[in-house]
């Protein structure tokens, strides 16, 4: 089933291509500008802002808490009834060191606050926290897709695997364009979006 969208596209393949192109362009604009600098890293407000910027031209639910229950495989994300409380609880989690930051990232993933686009938004949100707190970001291009997905799937029970994987890909090249562009492509590839290269969308 194709998600209802502002583009009035009813073909899922066509929608996926349009979503990838538009949201990648928006992600690049976010990275190139300082328009969100006044929003505190690690807050839901910052995450909602990122999500809204990426998807506001595509979906009416951009930046808004989902009102329906969703699952992936056998895992059911936080119930919509308690989602507001869950998100506020995650927001209050400490983020002063790498361990705390990744734990917070894992918990926000368990909440999965949006109808669609959680992973792509949250990886940008995670990098924003790491950049502000530690002066580092993740080189997503250095992380194997299957290893990442498997580690994230297991993270609600044991987050040591995802911590180890992300720690190995940390870099202090926070303003490196190539790392961001290739990392953005990798982030989208995790979700099976690979029709466009970020470098070609600038």
Whether 6 maps to a domain, the answer reads no
Whether 5 maps to a domain, the answer reads no
Total domains, the chain: 1
Query: What's phi and psi for 53, nearest 5 deg?
Result: -65, -40
Burial 55-92 (b: 16+ CB within 10 A, else e): bbbbbebbbebbeeebeeeeeebbebeebeebbeebbe
Please state the pTM of the whole predicted model: 0.97
- Segments forming the whole domain that contains residue 25: 12-201
Whether 7 maps to a domain, the answer reads no
Whether 26 maps to a domain, the answer reads yes
Q: What does the pLDDT profile of the chain (202 residues) look like in tens digits?
A: 899 999 999 999 999 999 999 999 999 999 999 888 899 999 999 999 999 999 999 999 999 999 999 998 889 999 999 999 999 999 999 999 999 999 999 999 999 999 999 999 999 999 999 999 999 999 999 999 999 999 999 999 999 999 999 999 999 999 999 999 999 999 999 999 999 999 999 9
């Amino acid at each position: 089933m194709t998600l209802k969208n502002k583009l009035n596209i009813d073909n899922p393949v066509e929608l996926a291509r349009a979503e990838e192109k538009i949201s990648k362009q928006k992600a690049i604009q976010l990275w190139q500008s300082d328009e969100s600098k006044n929003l505190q890293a690690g807050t839901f407000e910052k995450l909602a802002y990122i999500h809204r910027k990426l998807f506001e031209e595509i979906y009416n639910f951009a930046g808004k808490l989902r009102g329906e229950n969703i699952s992936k495989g056998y895992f059911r994300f936080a119930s919509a009834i308690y989602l507001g409380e869950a998100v506020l609880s995650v927001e209050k989690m400490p983020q002063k060191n790498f361990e705390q930051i990744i734990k917070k990232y894992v918990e926000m993933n368990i909440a999965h606050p949006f109808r669609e686009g959680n992973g792509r938004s949250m990886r940008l949100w995670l990098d924003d926290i790491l950049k502000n707190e530690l002066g580092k970001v993740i080189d997503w291009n250095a992380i194997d897709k299957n290893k990442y997905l498997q580690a994230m799937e297991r993270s609600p029970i044991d987050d040591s695997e995802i911590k180890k994987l992300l720690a190995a890909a940390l870099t202090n090249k926070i303003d490196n364009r190539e790392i961001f562009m290739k990392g953005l492509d990798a982030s989208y590839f995790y979700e099976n979006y690979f029709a466009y290269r970020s470098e070609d969308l600038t």
